[in-house]
């Protein structure tokens, strides 16, 4: 028999694979209690599946098991979902915020890893960068090529076909694995004039949250997701 606690867990895990710590922060329960509950949901009834990551943590899910190469990328994107819930709990900051995973979006020109809509007036696309792709390349897929696709989307306004609201453009948030990679990408976005791009690291995101000035702009300023500098 499922209780409301179980239903809250399954609602999140059905959207994306999650680590136990992420589930605990989303449902507001201690990690130890959530870990025990996830084990029961896995062993008795088969409500969830699980696999071990490289760090030997369990990643719980309800769909197809992610490949090992996807573990880091999946958990980075899910962390943005967690931080959205923490920053905007039920209309926190006087604002309504909604996070959508990439597979929940109906877009063809660009395929983001996620999207954040704040108060139906601010739109952010999320990209999780695991340092596996070239920053720039004339012939192969690169981060620069995807940012150019976002630039075209921005200029044509076709993102409004997917999102309804009073948006005046959007931002692209790239979450990276290291400060070194961030600085290399920041130099590129400044050179190319991608002033719609915001950069941060997964460490800053997970430890400081969306409302802290963790996002680096193309001209090396630091702002929060709401544009605040402090």
pTM: 0.94
CATH code of 83's domain:
3.40.1350
155 and 206 in a single domain? The answer is yes
**Three-state DSSP class for residue 30:** coil
Domain boundary among 66, 100, 118: 66
76 and 179 in a single domain? The answer is yes
How many other C-beta atoms lie within 10 A of the C-beta of residue 199? Answer: 25
**Do the bridges between strand 197-201 and strand 171-176 make them parallel or antiparallel, or are there none, so unpaired?**
parallel
How many domains is the chain built from? 2
Distant-in-sequence, close-in-space partners of 60: CB < 8 Å, separation ≥ 6: 13, 17, 18, 19, 20, 23, 38, 42, 48, 49, 50
**Residue 205 structure tokens:** 């995101």
172 and 197 in a single domain? The answer is yes
152 and 85 in a single domain? The answer is yes
Q: Which residues of the chain have pLDDT under 50?
A: none
Domain boundary among 66, 85, 110: 66
51 and 75 in a single domain? The answer is no
43 and 122 in a single domain? The answer is no
Q: With the C-alpha atoms ordered 105, 196, 124, 202, is the resulting torsion angle positive or negative?
A: positive
CA distances for 86 relative to 15, 30, 124, 155, 176, angstroms = 17, 15, 17, 32, 20
The verdict on residue 143 lying in a domain is yes
pLDDT at 228: 82
107 and 198 in a single domain? The answer is yes
**Do the bridges between strand 215-216 and strand 222-223 make them parallel or antiparallel, or are there none, so unpaired?**
antiparallel
| pLDDT digits 0-9 by tens, 194-205 | 999 999 999 999
pLDDT at 1: 79
34 and 100 in a single domain? The answer is no
Task: Assess contact for 172 and 196: CB atoms under 8 A.
Answer: yes
50 and 74 in a single domain? The answer is no
34 exposure class (CB count in 10 Å sphere: 0-12, 13-18, 19+):
buried
Which DSSP state fits 58?
E
pLDDT at 163: 87
Task: Assess contact for 126 and 145: CB atoms under 8 A.
Answer: no
Q: Which domain holds residue 12?
A: 4-66
206 and 95 in a single domain? The answer is yes
CATH code of 25's domain:
1.10.10.10
pLDDT at 198: 98
**Do the bridges between strand 222-223 and strand 171-176 make them parallel or antiparallel, or are there none, so unpaired?**
unpaired
146 and 197 in a single domain? The answer is yes
pLDDT at 91: 57
216 and 170 in a single domain? The answer is yes
**Do the bridges between strand 122-128 and strand 114-118 make them parallel or antiparallel, or are there none, so unpaired?**
antiparallel
The verdict on residue 207 lying in a domain is yes
């Amino acid at each position: 028999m499922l209780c409301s606690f179980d239903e809250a867990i399954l609602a999140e895990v059905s959207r994306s694979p999650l680590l136990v710590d992420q589930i605990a922060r989303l449902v507001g329960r201690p990690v130890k209690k959530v870990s025990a509950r996830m084990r029961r949901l896995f062993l008795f009834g088969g409500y969830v599946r699980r696999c071990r990551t490289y760090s030997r943590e369990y990643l719980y899910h309800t769909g197809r098991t992610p490949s090992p190469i996807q573990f880091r990328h999946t958990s980075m994107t899910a962390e943005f979902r967690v931080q959205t819930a923490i920053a905007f709990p039920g209309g926190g900051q006087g604002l309504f915020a909604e996070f959508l995973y990439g597979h929940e979006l109906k877009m063809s020109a660009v395929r983001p890893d996620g999207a954040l809509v704040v108060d139906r007036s601010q739109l952010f696309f999320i990209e999780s960068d695991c340092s596996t792709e070239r920053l720039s390349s004339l012939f192969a897929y690169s981060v620069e090529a995807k940012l150019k696709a976002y630039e075209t989307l921005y200029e044509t306004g076709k993102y409004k076909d997917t999102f309804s609201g009073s948006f005046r453009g959007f931002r692209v948030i790239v979450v990276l694995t290291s400060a070194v990679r961030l600085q290399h990408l920041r130099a590129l976005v400044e050179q190319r004039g991608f002033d719609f791009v915001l950069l941060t690291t997964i460490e800053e995101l997970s430890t400081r949250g969306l409302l802290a000035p963790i996002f680096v702009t193309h001209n090396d300023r630091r702002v929060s997701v709401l544009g605040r500098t402090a």
